[in-house]
Amino acid sequence: MSKKKARIVLVLLAAALVVLMYTAFRGWGPTGTGAMKNIKLGLDLEGGVSITYQAKEANPSAEDMADTIYKLQKRVEGYSTEAQVYQEGQNRINIEIPGVSNADEILEELGKPGSLEFQLEDGTVVLDGSHVTSAEAGSTRDNMNNTKYVVEVEFDKEGTKAFGDATSKNVGRQISIVYDGETISAPVVQEAITDGKCQISGNFTLDSAKELASSIRIGSLSLELEEIRSNVVGAQLGQQALKTSLIGGIIGVIAVMIIMIIAYKAPGMVAAFALLLYTALDLVAMNAFDMTLTLPGIAGVILSIGMVVDANVIIYARIREEIQAGNSVRSAIDVGFKKALSAIIDGNVTTLIACLVLYIMGSGSVKGFAESLALGIFLSMFTALFVSKWIVRACYGLGMSDPKYFGKAIAFRKLRMMEKRKVFFIIALIAILSGPVACIANKAAGRGALNYSMEFRGGTSTDVTFKDSYDIDQIDSEIKPVIQDVIGDAEIQSQKVAGGNEIIFKTRALSSEEREKLADALDEKFAIDTYTDNSGKEARAISFETISATVSNEMRRDAVVAVIIAVVCMLIYIWFRFSDIRFASSAIIALIHDVLLVFASYAIVRISVGGTFIAVMLTIVGYSINSTIVIFDRVRENLKQRGNFTSLADLVNDSITSTMTRSIYTSLTTFATVFFLYVVGVPSIKEFSLPLMVGIVAGMYSSVCLTGAMWYVMRLNKDKKDQAAAKASAPKKVTSSKKKKKGPKV
């Protein structure tokens, strides 16, 4: 690259960084378009709209309540993947939607959940809404190529049969869609529909098609509901959690930049520039794609920062190797990027596969995590493979042609990892077993195997209306300590209802005695508002309700199924790319090892198992597999030159040794970002960061000490079998069985 072209490239990239940073931190126009202050935040960080419905049926069954909650969860994910739906009391359902402030608008769009029936002209009910699996607005083209809006409806297996029978017998007649006693559509059957998919056409606008689809979706609930209250509520964790997360993130990014510059000299400065560009791009893109950021989303951002650094480390380590091999700097740059490409692509693609499966199969915070991580992966690959490459070549064009600019690689004496594999396996086994042992010990002590939070076990919602107004900081510093003294538990979520002095506190499940003590303590310390009850007596404005887990059994099931499918898909991809199932199986076993070690940390340290638990586990799945791919990429490369090594063990040892720099720096930089979150974070952030740090350490151990060793054991057995088979099939030497004739005796 010529000096003139190099200057142009650097000026353009510097200008792009300035524009993106300005956009991310300040924004454009009076509303600050593009600024990170406009990124939607989840209920845990900002708050949103809370709507409470009550079942019209007096005593709904637990099965109907669970089914309705699950279906409502799927409905409200259209507003935000971070929306929460949970049971309150015996027959109420709460919906909390983050990032919005107009409850009336949400209610209007969401509709009134009533009964839905498909009826023939004589009033015979063909099926009810419980058999509808989806209803969406769509579009088609007519004969004149004009756009026509339609509503596409799908039924479950039982509904498919019933609808197929009805349409087969009633071609040319109407089948009315009756919602809450009112006919909202009466389409004419054009033909028998037996595949469970129908299309309702007519003079729809896009809005009217969406409205009909919404009514059909809401009417497919198992229970008929009525709205009893709606509020705008504040953040569950408070602004302090967001502020400390931001500070910790900034410190972490700065620490990563310093580490890269110290480790890689001039290329480290390039990596620091790429990291800044990535951060600005990520913030702007999250705003542009209208994504919702929560604590699980922050996990995705942290992981993607680690992957940005990881890609740069792989590239610069390769460049150093080429320089040390005697190649020119120009050649080393070209070859380094080329050789690093396969490891970067394979590592990122495996994680992207996991993101795709988690987004499709998961729900709630799982989807949010998948979104933020997938966005980060695409941007990290762009900054590492293109931006870093342009900058390095431009710097070379401006005179960075001396090898001294790239620093010297850390010289490791060849590690004898295969000779110590049994020790590594024993350590891993002991660490894995520590989790179940801790669970058994906890249960024996009467504390429960794991410390489940309200999100998993449910709890009590305490609604208090104070005479005075309290801001978030006062709630955290003055009111929460009083509640903690009474219930003996620090896990307290608070939400301030907008437009008044009403505050909702969510805690562990409280007994009737504890509820009374809490009401007395709050009344003693603070001025509580009063009202006149039905008997005409004055009562304190304090009410208690039992609430279910916000992470339902169905959501947990979805998360587990999604992770299993994601792991299987990753296994297939690695098998395909490396043409050896031993690589894939070793990687997956190591991944399971990392997840089990993180699980052990929850059991041993008694970290609260809540919504972030799922995010932490997903983060480790994405992080661990990426580290393993780098080592396996080097093993695959060395296998092509197996004759250069004295044995298979020597080959694997060399592969691990040559990638050790990458393993150390990547783990160190990712650990640093999480560590500073832990240092400056509030308790909820600490409970989120601590198991992540355990997972990072576990991921490095499994990648360096276990994956290569497991592949070696499996491959060694194969080689022995191949040698035995080759020996058995080799042609044997034929010797004469005839005895020599003895000569005459003398």
Structure tokens at 264: 């890689």
What is the distance between the alpha carbons of residues 467 and 465, in angstroms, rounded to a whole number? 7
Q: Are 162 and 175 in contact (CB under 8 A)?
A: no
The pLDDT score that the predictor gives to residue 498 is 72
The CATH class that applies to domain 3-25+238-406 reads mainly alpha
What is the distance between the alpha carbons of residues 258 and 251, in angstroms, rounded to a whole number? 11
Q: Are 43 and 235 in contact (CB under 8 A)?
A: yes
Query: CA 488 → CA 14, 28, 491, 493, 518, distances in Å?
Result: 54, 48, 9, 14, 11
The low-confidence residues of the chain, meaning pLDDT below 70, are 42-47, 78, 81, 99-114, 233-242, 295-297, 299-300, 303, 363-365, 407-412, 551-552, 554-555, 611, 682, 684, 722, 726, 730-746
Query: Residues 6 or more apart from 43 whose CB is under 8 A from it?
Result: 82, 84, 96, 98, 233, 235, 236, 294, 495
What is the distance between the alpha carbons of residues 602 and 310, in angstroms, rounded to a whole number? 27
Homologous superfamily (CATH) of 418-435+555-725 is Multidrug efflux transporter AcrB transmembrane domain (1.20.1640.10)
Cα of first residue to Cα of last residue in the chain, in angstroms, is 97
Same fold for the pair 114-220 and 459-547: no
Q: What is the pTM of this model?
A: 0.72
Which pLDDT tens digit goes with each residue over 400-443? 888 887 766 666 678 889 999 999 999 999 999 999 999 999 99
The pLDDT score that the predictor gives to residue 522 is 92
Question: 3-class DSSP state for residue 361?
Answer: helix
What is the distance between the alpha carbons of residues 178 and 659, in angstroms, rounded to a whole number? 66
Domain layout of the chain by residue ranges: 3-25+238-406, 114-220, 418-435+555-725, 459-547
Which pLDDT tens digit goes with each residue over 38-52? 777 766 666 678 888
The secondary structure element, H or E, covering residue 645 is: none
The pLDDT score that the predictor gives to residue 746 is 40
Q: For the domain made up of 114-220, give the CATH fold.
A: Gyrase A; domain 2 (3.30.1360)
- Paired strand residues for 540: 530
Question: 3-class DSSP state for residue 497?
Answer: strand
Query: Residues 6 or more apart from 712 whose CB is under 8 A from it?
Result: 418, 421, 648, 649, 652
The pLDDT score that the predictor gives to residue 40 is 75
Q: Looking at the domain that runs over 459-547, which CATH code has it been given?
A: 3.30.70
The pLDDT score that the predictor gives to residue 230 is 74
The pLDDT score that the predictor gives to residue 653 is 92
What is 556-580 written as a DSSP string?
HHHHHHHHHHHHHHHHHHHHHHHT-
The secondary structure element, H or E, covering residue 393 is: helix 388-397
The pLDDT score that the predictor gives to residue 108 is 62
